[in-house]
Amino acid sequence: MTSPAPRGAHFLFLLASSRRDGNAETLARHAAAALPGGTRQTWRRLDEHPLPPFADLRHASAEAWQPAIDGHARTLLEATLAATDLVFVAPVYWYSLPASAKLYLDHWTAWLRAPGWDFKARMAGKSLWAVTALSDSDLRYAAPLEGALKLTAAYLDMRWAGLLAGEGNRPGDVTRDTRALTAAKTFFRSADPGSRADG
Ligand SMILES: Cc1cc2nc3c(=O)[nH]c(=O)nc-3n(C[C@H](O)[C@H](O)[C@H](O)COP(=O)(O)O)c2cc1C
């Protein structure tokens, strides 16, 4: 018998691989399949929501710093704020995050200052998770990716909820990583119903 979904939980899966059906996505789908029935899930492929290059206008004039949040940025911002749980589904690229995930994070810097969105206060209390894949059998090479997201969570008073890592290079390889698949079954169990933020 599955336990009921935490009241109000809404998981946003941010797919950051530059290919479809890759190892990180496969592992994330395994983990999501074990979420309690009825848990709200939204899946967004960052490559399908291309963001403009980030321009650092923080110290420009007040007129220059009126970031228009429209198009894909607005879609991603609204999805981000609507979620209680953000899950980066991001393979290791050069020991770090893929560019699409990094660009999405850079845009948080604009969203933090965008009038009327109250981004910082509304991010506080959400949970941040990561599901990754890498070709190296030594999962410690995912440490920079994990560290960046962990520190990001702390900066925004979010809860760092954990990393699920699997080994694989070609799509499908991760299905042979039995340790990762076993870990996926319980990965989201530490979702904490007591610390839900309302979108
Ligand atoms: C641009 C790029 C950089 C990569 N850098 C690393 C790396 O630093 N360490 C590693 O172990 N694997 C690296 N890989 C391999 C991928 O992490 C691996 O193929 C992974 O399974 C891809 O995940 P996906 O199938 O979800 O796209 C890299 C792959 C690409 C395309």
Tell me the per-residue pLDDT of 18-63, one tens digit each, with 9 for 90 and over.
999 999 999 999 999 999 999 999 999 999 999 999 999 888 877 6
Residue 93 falls inside a structural domain: yes
User: Does the pLDDT value for residue 5 go beyond 80?
Assistant: no
User: Does the pLDDT value for residue 67 go beyond 90?
Assistant: no
Residue 77 falls inside a structural domain: yes
Number of domains in the chain: 1
Lowest mean pLDDT among 3-7, 26-30, 161-165, 167-171: 3-7
Ligand 1 within 6 A of CB of 89: no
Segment 61-89 shows an average pLDDT of: 89
Segment 68-94 shows an average pLDDT of: 96
The total of other beta-carbon atoms located within 10 Å of residue 133's CB is: 28
Residues in Cβ contact with 25 at an 8 Å cutoff, skipping those fewer than 6 apart? 15, 17, 89
* Tokens at 131, concatenated: 């599901």
User: Does the pLDDT value for residue 2 go beyond 80?
Assistant: no
User: Does the pLDDT value for residue 64 go beyond 90?
Assistant: no
Residue 80 falls inside a structural domain: yes
Of the pLDDT bands very low, low, confident and very high (cuts 50, 70, 90), residue 118 is very high
Residue 195 falls inside a structural domain: no
Cα-to-centroid distance, 92 and ligand 1 (Å): 5
Ligand 1: which of 23, 45, 93, 140 to mutate, most ligand atoms within 8 Å of CB? 93
d(CA 30, CA 94): 25
Cα-to-centroid distance, 146 and ligand 1 (Å): 15
Cα-to-centroid distance, 75 and ligand 1 (Å): 27
Which run of H or E residues covers position 2? none
* Tokens at 113, concatenated: 């200052």
Of the pLDDT bands very low, low, confident and very high (cuts 50, 70, 90), residue 7 is low
Using CA positions, which residue lies closest to atom 1 of ligand 1? 93
Using CA positions, which residue lies closest to atom 2 of ligand 1? 93
Lowest mean pLDDT among 6-10, 51-55, 96-100: 6-10
Residue 1 falls inside a structural domain: no
Of the pLDDT bands very low, low, confident and very high (cuts 50, 70, 90), residue 66 is low
Of the pLDDT bands very low, low, confident and very high (cuts 50, 70, 90), residue 197 is very low
Residue 135 falls inside a structural domain: yes
Residue 5 falls inside a structural domain: no
Using CA positions, which residue lies closest to atom 17 of ligand 1? 134
- Domain range for 73: 10-189
| CATH number of the CATH domain containing 178 | 3.40.50.360
Cα-to-centroid distance, 169 and ligand 1 (Å): 7
Residue 84 falls inside a structural domain: yes
Q: Using alpha carbons, select from 86, 62, 82 the residue that is nearest to residue 74.
A: 82
Cα-to-centroid distance, 196 and ligand 1 (Å): 33
Ligand 1 within 6 A of CB of 85: no
